[in-house]
A and B are shown apart, each in its own frame.
Chain A
Amino acid sequence: MKPPIILSVATAVLLIADTLAPQICITPAVAADVTTQTAARIAAAVENLFTGHTLTYAAAPVLLRYAQLPGGIRKGQQVPSLILFADGHLQVFYPDYMKRAGNYTAQLNPEQLAQLQQQLADPALLAMDTAAIRSEINRRQQLDQAVTTEIRGTVDTTALYLEVHAAQTPTGIAPLSEAQEKIQRVYWYGLQDALVHYPEHSALQQLNRLSQTLNTIMRQSGLMKTHE
């Protein structure tokens, strides 16, 4: 029995560690040509993901920003997102087309915050070479395709955008390189399918765990609605 293959219409992966060229939804090939104009468009695209957040919070710096980009939503529509601050304060936004529409706040307790910070400081995540991962996934797909006639595809699934302000993660957990002290950005489409192809990859596993943790935080019952 030949193993089924998973076609990765869902393997788009991007990790940009360079704070000067924060990018979303961009290929490495394109990344090589980032111009000032492109960088500005990228920055604007990223900020658009968080336009729904109407609350301000100055008591602590941002630790991470996280957004879910639902496949199938038209460009320019707001998306669900989370901003977590270094003291555990968090803000969640759900757009108007969702049942939970609105702005929410909550506070992670010290234990939850410490666990999350530990996840964020994982060297595998911070050193993630997404181009190499994607290349490996493509190679595996082609190998699979050569030995099976069955093919699987998933479309219109969700992409995630994760922005980790590495300086806010505890340095005692893992030593940070110079690059890691900056803002780490991850854009990933179809995480589950990527894991099917490359289940043993520790950074993918870590990203998946982190994504699940953040999704749980966004859905927790302790969220307090603050803005319609």
Chain B
Amino acid sequence: MNNLRQFLSIIGAAVGSRSTGLLTASAVLGALWAVLIPSLAIVSPVSAGVFMFADSGNPDSITHPPHYTGRGGKIIVTVGLSERLRNHLEQLSIPVQNAIDTWNYLIPTVRNILPAGRSNVKSEHIDFESVLLHELGHCIGLGHPHFDQESNVPTWNSDFTRSTAGANGRYDFNAGQDGVAGSADDQRGDDINLHWFSKADNNPFQLAPVVDRFTYGRHLRDLPPEHLFAANGNQDVARLLGLPNTEAVMHQGIATGEARRQLTADDVATLRLAMSGFDGRAGTKDDYTVTLIFDPFAKSDITLDIDRNQTALAQCRVIATEVRSGQYVIDHGKIIFNDEINWFFNPERAVFQPQLTITANGQSGAVILSRQDQLRLEISLQVPAVYQHVHAAYWLRAETPMGDLWLSPQLEFVTATGPAYTGLPIPLERFPVFEIPVSALPSGEYRLTFAVSGAQSGFPAEDLQATVNITLLP
């Protein structure tokens, strides 16, 4: 305890004697945290969508990716190129790999639409990666959550949640009091819902901790109180929930210059619902994970092709087998792109892992300092775009000759374990934690670890951490 008081007094004294710049930096970070913390209320991760082949005869059916047999484990699904497309491998490799990784990481995001002018997509071009991401979703079993072009429903009603017509043989479209098609207060008469929703909140932009047939439902009797119909992940519903520029990837339609390269909770939940296996219960032996692998030259499960006679932007053809009642497994998928489109091929590799560093006097790893040196501790954190709206917790632990200490939200080292910050990730670029003369600290070995972990589902499950070992010579 005395050692602790000593350490804190040293740090406190050191902080008090720090440069104005350092104090300002801490104050700015503290203020930033204070501003961001209230915004937690509007942001959180994932409800599920609709499966391919779900229809009036089979409303509860679920479609699984290729190779699922009912045995749990990891499923590998290969994505390849037709001979015609192999000549374009150089252009395609980054956007294809990005789209594949996006499905592999299954990170639910919000604000996933970058409109023209805010994305890197050239004007008068269509983003290949965004279209591929959508089509890959079909190839692993996902359908459109709304009334798409093939539904034969007027365009002004196309945002209503996908359903069958019910006993009266007609769709009952009434957007309810909020006037937003596809929201929870829609009055849909006897229409039979096809959209899987979270029983807890029917929010397509929230992901339940567990996704299976017990936490997600299709029957309207499972809706939360006051809700009248399953909400889908269209842009108007997102706006209604305070989330601008947000839309499920499986919602049909993209505009010129627009990028939609990240999944929403609705997309993630749909696949995770399938991943709960035939028994529909998460945590059982038949659960599986899906890993897409890009193998341009192999005979693949999903083939990308291009055709100048194609008139769609891109269309997806799948062949599936009903392996048991109401359970389909995709055998093969083919995505055909229109060669007459001005495609934009994203040249930027998507990043999915946050990068963090901790340095002492600009050095990482092991650092040896003498009594006359200064000690400047800095941390950095690069947050990929996919995590910008997913809560995280920051931790800074100091293993010292006086014992283990943790940086508190007040930026003081204390014995109580806890994060220094919890909330939306804040990118840090060489953020100065402290700068003090080495002579103010007892000599010995110090090990400081900066770690970031998921405060909620969505951020990487494993803690990410970086450590610097400091030896203070006597």
User: A-side interface residues toward B, CB under 8 Å?
Assistant: 4, 7-14, 23-27, 29-30, 38, 41-42, 45, 68-77, 80, 96-101, 142, 145, 149-159, 187, 189-190, 215
Min distance, Cβ A88 to any Cβ of chain B, angstroms: 24
Q: Is the CB of A25 within 8 A of B313?
A: no
Q: Beyond A29-B169, A96-B256, A98-B341, is A154–B315 a contact (Cβ under 8 Å)?
A: yes
Q: Confirm or deny: B319 has a beta carbon within 8 angstroms of a beta carbon on chain A.
A: yes
CA distance in complex: A123, B152 (Å): 25
Chain A residues whose C-beta falls within 8 Å of the C-beta of B134 in the assembled complex: 72, 156
- Find the B residue at minimum CB distance from A10: B150
The residues of B that contact A14 with a CB separation of less than 8 Å are 152
Nearest-neighbour CB distance to chain A for B203, whole angstroms, equals 24
Are A189 and B150 closer than 8 Å at their CB atoms? yes
A158: which B residues are within 8 A, CB to CB? 311-312, 315
Contacts A29-B165, A73-B253, A99-B340; A152 near B318 (Cβ below 8 A): yes
Contact pick for A25, options B152, B315, B317, CB 8 Å: B152
What 4 pairs across the A-B complex have the smallest Cβ distances? A12-B152, A29-B170, A74-B253, A72-B313
Cβ-closest chain B residue relative to A26 = B154
Residues in B with CB closer than 8 Å to A151 are 53, 319-322, 328
Q: B135 in the interface, Cβ–Cβ < 8 Å?
A: yes
Cβ of B452 under 8 Å from chain A = no
CB distance from B40 to the nearest CB of A (A): 31
Chain B residues with CB under 8 A of A45? 154-156
> Given the complex, which residues of A lie within 8 Å of B311, measured CB to CB?
68, 70, 80, 158, 215
Partner among B125, B320, B342 whose Cβ is within 8 Å of the Cβ of A153: B320
Asked whether B135 lies within 8 Å of A156 as measured between CB atoms, the reply is yes
Q: Which B residues are in CB contact (< 8 Å) with A74?
A: 253-255, 258
Chain B residues within 8 Å of A157, by CB: 150, 312, 315
- Of B8-16, B141-149, B279-287, B433-441, which binds chain A? B141-149
B152: chain A residues within 8 A (beta carbon):
12-14, 25-27, 187, 189
Nearest A residue (CB) for B135: A156
Whether B155 and A75, one on each chain, are in contact in the complex, defined by CB atoms closer than 8 angstroms, is yes
Contact yes or no, A71 B150, CB < 8 A: yes
Is B385 engaged at the interface, CB distance under 8 Å to the other chain? Answer: no
Apart from A73-B313, A150-B320, what are 20 other A-B pairs with CB-CB below 8 Å?
A: A29-B165, A29-B169, A70-B338, A72-B252, A72-B253, A72-B312, A73-B255, A74-B254, A75-B253, A150-B322, A151-B321, A152-B320, A155-B143, A155-B144, A155-B148, A156-B252, A156-B316, A157-B315, A187-B152, A215-B309
The answer to whether A97 and B256 touch across the interface, beta carbons within 8 angstroms, is yes
A156 → chain B closest CB, angstroms: 5
With A70-B338, A74-B258 already in contact, the answer to whether A156 and B171 are too (CB < 8 A) is no
Interchain CB contact under 8 A, A99 and B135: no
CB of B53 within 8 A of CB of A70, answer: no
Q: In the assembled complex, how far is the CB of residue A212 from the closest CB belonging to chain B, in whole angstroms?
A: 10
A9/B153 in contact, CB under 8 A: no
The yes or no answer to B213 lying at the interface (CB within 8 A) is no
Partner of A70, one of B55, B123, B153, B312: B312
Q: How far is the CB of A6 from chain B (nearest CB, A)?
A: 10
Would you give the shortest CB distance from A124 to chain B, in whole angstroms?
A: 21
Can you list 16 contacts pairing A with B, beta carbon distance less than 8 Å? A24-B154, A27-B170, A29-B171, A70-B311, A71-B148, A72-B131, A72-B252, A73-B313, A74-B254, A76-B255, A77-B256, A97-B124, A151-B321, A153-B53, A154-B316, A187-B152
Question: What 0/1 readout, one digit per residue, does chain B (208-232) give for beta carbons within 8 Å of chain A?
Answer: 0000000000000000000000000
- Beta-carbon nearest neighbor of A188 in chain B: B152
Q: Which B residues touch A154, using CB under 8 A?
A: 315-318
What CA separation (Å) do A98 and B151 show in the bound complex? 26
Q: How far, in whole Å, are A154 and B258 apart by their CA atoms in the complex? A: 24
- Asked if A97 and B342 sit within 8 Å, CB to CB, the answer is yes
In whole angstroms, what is the CA distance A180 to B138 when docked?
Answer: 40
Given A70-B313, A150-B319, A99-B53 contact (CB < 8 Å)? no
Contact with A along B102-131 (1 / 0, CB 8 A): 000000000000000000000111100001
Residues of chain A within 8 A of B131, CB atoms compared: 72
**Contact among B55, B312, B318 with A71 in the assembled complex (CB-CB below 8 Å):** B312
Q: Does the CB pair B254–A156 fall under 8 Å? A: no
Partner of B323, one of A76, A80, A149: A149
